[in-house]
Amino acid sequence: MDQWSSLILDTLVQGGKLLAQFWVPLYALMGVLGVLLAIESIFKSRTPQGAIAWALGLVFLSPVVVPIYLFFGPRKFYGYVEARRKGDLEIHRIAEKLMAEMSALFSPEEDNSPGGVLLEKLALMPFTKGNKVGLLINGEQTFASIFDEIDRAKHYILLQFYIVRDDKLGRELQEKLIEKSRQGVRIYFLFDAIGSFSLSRCYLNKCRQAGINIEPFRTWRWGKRRRFQINFRNHRKIVVVDGCTAFVGGANVGDEYLNGNKRLSPWRDTHVRMEGPSVQGCQLSFLEDWYWVTGEVPEMDWHPDGVNSDQRVLILPTGPADLVESCQLMFLHVINSATERLWIVGPYFVPDESILNALKLAVLRGVDVRLMLPGKTDNRMVQLSSYAVLLDLRNTGVRAFQYQQGFLHQKVVLVDSDRAYVGTANFDNRSFHLNFEITVMVKGQQFAAEVESMLNDDFKHCLPLTGDDLAQRNVVFRSLIKLSQLFSPIQ
């Protein structure tokens, strides 16, 4: 027994020495890398809070945080910028031709306030008139309308989703696309590689065998100036049929969007259906993403026609490849332009200090500022971070409400009596800086009234939530809120 004990002890000692030989140099290497990357994070982080969070972690927890930073750290999405520049000649030619043909459909100058001009500069496109925009409430309406339009397609279909699942809804979409492909309709289908990581190879092969052009949007590529940028996502949801009809909103392709998730159902979401020249803005956004993935410029209809409607619409794609922080600037302008009402609805509300200050100023101007947030959540960490924000907004006059009837996933903003915004972007760091998003901005009292009616119905299923309510919770809960706030800049 003593012999075996001695042998085991000797083995452990030798193993410890061997481990120390490798661990000490590795730890030292991680420490040096941590310091260097901390310096990089200070210069390249999008926010001071993010710079502090990364720098402290990289210096004091380097073996853990260095690998995380290399995968998720702050940086511009350089690969997309390079690809877009290479495709500029063809895409710029298409954009110039489109602008020329749309000139008769531009919204009249007298309707464009200085704020409208600002948004047009962010979008690199003008507001257009002659659009028809309709609300689609929840997944049933959304996919019924999308499927009807797919059935009527004659030439081509563009589809782009963050999440595509191989489930009942996903297979129903697949069957419709296969049928249209057999009829000679060209189909171009983009999905985010991370959001749709569970999509089966069988699903993709079946689509490709039927002639469907289906590709993942990957934000990582090896090679010159290409880093493993896994933290970026393409969060856009776009469907365009024959260049005549487009759909944009919060719903992805999965059974949960048709109330298939027992824990979160019923699922509350909003989409819009568009006709008119605004459809061309959705096509142009899709084209840039498709070119990044494939290097190809597919044939599309770039001849916009107005419809018998006076709705004025601007399509604003935003993302980490933009020269400025377009998404954040858009929301800052939206808040600062409100004079009477500002209703913000979304599942994830973790804005930075600039947005919070803008909300406080809006209240001081006499604006009715309301936040509608989910009661049920699919991300507890983000919800706790949003509670920390509500604590910061305590006693400011900003009113918050929690939706109680299922999971609230819609992304909608209503401003005054004549402006409404529906899209894919959330009020958080990810949408502001990391995700590719798209927002539909509609001017006009008719559509705003429809959105107001929809949100008033939603408010009936809400309960008020105040910072005082959260401050009275137990110390463990309050500690979790504060802890989550520390990580909000890098969520």
**CB 347, CB 407: distance < 8 Å:** yes
Q: How far is CA 125 from the centre of its chain?
A: 20
Whether a cis peptide bond, with omega within 30° of 0, leads into 266 is yes
* 409 is a catalytic site residue: yes
CA atoms of 208 and 215, how far apart (whole Å): 10
Tokens for 158? Answer: 């563009």
- One of 132, 180, 376, 409 is an active-site residue; which one? 409
- One of 416, 418, 461, 469 is an active-site residue; which one? 416
- One of 155, 176, 206, 242 is an active-site residue; which one? 242
Burial of 1 (C-beta count, 10 Å sphere; 0-12/13-18/19+) = exposed
- One of 129, 180, 235, 433 is an active-site residue; which one? 235
C-alpha distances (whole Å) from 46 to each of 75, 215, 220, 432 are 8, 30, 20, 10
* 333 is a catalytic site residue: no
- One of 132, 180, 376, 411 is an active-site residue; which one? 411
**CB 54, CB 490: distance < 8 Å:** yes
- One of 129, 132, 237, 271 is an active-site residue; which one? 237
CA atoms of 221 and 292, how far apart (whole Å): 11
CA atoms of 420 and 25, how far apart (whole Å): 57
Closest CA to 466 of 377, 378, 370: 370
* 132 is a catalytic site residue: no
**CB 358, CB 393: distance < 8 Å:** no
* 461 is a catalytic site residue: no
Residues annotated catalytic, as ranges:
235, 237, 242, 409, 411, 416
